[in-house]
Amino acid sequence: MRILLIFSIFLLDFLISSKLSSPNPNAYKIVAKIRDDLADGIDSKNKTALEEVLFDVYTFDMCRGARSSFNRSQIIEHMMKTKVKVQPFAIEKIPYSDEDLIVLISWTKTSKGPKQYFRHTIRRDDEKYRIFHSNKMNC
């Protein structure tokens, strides 16, 4: 009886931990929708530059020290100027519970300086994801 109880506890622990570490299957759809919504209203020539921005996904607390804020048009302008080579999204790290709030970290590197990090808070509004707030971060 004890062996069965111990085995059941280990099995339950394994199932819970594997469920928590697996990526959300809807995350791919959410990221694709974000990319489409951010490119909305930009002509096809500049849309490619926007698509080439590298995003990585973190939580709010990953890097502190935000100094300046940018509005949506400034962020899109920044994205189109940087033209960073695209890399896979860290899909499993999207911090959300109800698909209404997502935080992304983008970075750029110029030839004259270190990487610059930008944290973008993205919220869903009327079935579209929009940049709600962005900060340049000092990490």
pLDDT tens per residue, range 96-130: 434 566 666 666 555 666 666 666 666 666 665 56
Whether the predicted pLDDT of 57 surpasses 50: no
What the block records as the tokens of 52 is: 């080439």
pLDDT bin (cut points 50, 70, 90) of residue 21 is very low
Question: What average pLDDT does range 41-50 have in this prediction?
Answer: 43
What the block records as the tokens of 10 is: 């280990």
% the chain with pLDDT above 70: 0
What is the tens place of the pLDDT at every residue in 62-80? 333 333 444 445 555 555 5
Query: Which pLDDT belongs to residue 102?
Result: 63
Report d(CA 120, CA 39) in Å as an integer.
15
Q: Of 122, 88, 116, 86, give the one whose Cα is nearest residue 104.
A: 122
Please give the residue that has the higher pLDDT: either 60 or 21.
21
Q: What are the phi and psi torsion angles at 57 (to 5°)?
A: -115, 130
Report d(CA 81, CA 50) in Å as an integer.
9
- Between the alpha carbon of residue 106 and those of residues 9, 48, 109, the distances in Å are 41, 16, 11
Residue 55: DSSP 8-state: E
How far apart are the two ends of the chain, measured CA to CA in Å?
A: 54
Give residue 139's identity as a one-letter amino acid code.
C
Put simply, whether the predicted model's pTM sits higher than 0.75 gets the answer: no
Residue 30: DSSP 8-state: H
Q: Of 108, 57, 116, give the one whose Cα is nearest residue 85.
A: 108
Query: Which pLDDT belongs to residue 122?
Result: 66
